[in-house]
Amino acid sequence: MIIDTHAHYDDDRFDEDRDELLLSMREKGVEAIVNASASLKGCYDSLALAEKYDFMYFLAGIHPSDALDLEIDGNFDKIKGMAMHNKCVAVGEIGLDYYWDEPERSIQKKWFEAQLNLANEINKPINVHSRDAYADTMDIIKSTKAYENGGIIHCFSYGVECAREFLDMGFMLGIGGVLTFKNGKKLKEVVEYAPLDQLVLETDCPYLSPEPFRGKRNHSGNIKYVAEKLAEIKNISVEEVIRATRENAFRVYKIAR
């Protein structure tokens, strides 16, 4: 059975069929799903999903694009409270995104550091979004020693040299639909290089549908296509990929079985 380590079922694109879709996941080979938060509302919605479904867990944190949420007095304490929930398996999705001009980088860095320190304080792993911001991401992780509780570099988008540094710090790399894209050469090289015991599967749904569904709404049932491509690249069986990534997910998120 597959673990989807990063999904967004609170997204409004699931409003019409969310319950039906989630209840079909076991028959699609998906054992557990971790719903990632982005905004303050997303944290509350993700918590609600985790409380409703026993096979769902969640991440509590604010995405860099929504970092201004944390400029409002009291909101950081709300995040902290949710991060301490027993079904919150990591502080995330947090990080830096320099692809966009807003919010300004100083605000992104301020709240990335604050949320890393929160993870340290409550002894939980982290789930990191890093886009066009490798150097600052690494510098802040090192300065806060946020690697000590482990975590996942979500939707990994850098090359092998950057992957090596994250892997050497003990992080897992989140591998999703981009691996199946014809223009996903860089990620294929990373997957070929990385040890299997430091890779986890994710969808980031409703985004990043794998081939042959690229451009359509993604869901956890599509994660098998990522597993198949990973197996092809590693020249191992799909069953071995599923077994290893499942164990990796349980280990990094410290989910009791």
Beta bridge partners of 58: 35, 88
Q: How far is CA 128 from the centre of its chain?
A: 7
2-253 maps to CATH 3.30.70.1730: no
Q: The tokens 């902290």 sit on which residue?
A: 80
* Short-list 27, 110, 33, CA closest to 70: 110
* Short-list 73, 67, 57, CA closest to 4: 57
Q: Does residue 93 have a cis bond before it (omega within 30 degrees)?
A: yes
Q: Is residue 257 predicted with pLDDT exceeding 80?
A: no
Query: Which residues 6+ apart lie within 8 Å of 25 measured at CB?
Result: 33, 55, 220, 221
* Short-list 189, 149, 197, CA closest to 173: 197
pLDDT digits (tens, 9 = 90+) for 191-220: 999 999 999 999 999 999 999 999 999 999
Ranges of each domain in the chain: 2-253
pTM: 0.97
pLDDT digits (tens, 9 = 90+) for 103-124: 999 999 999 999 999 999 999 9
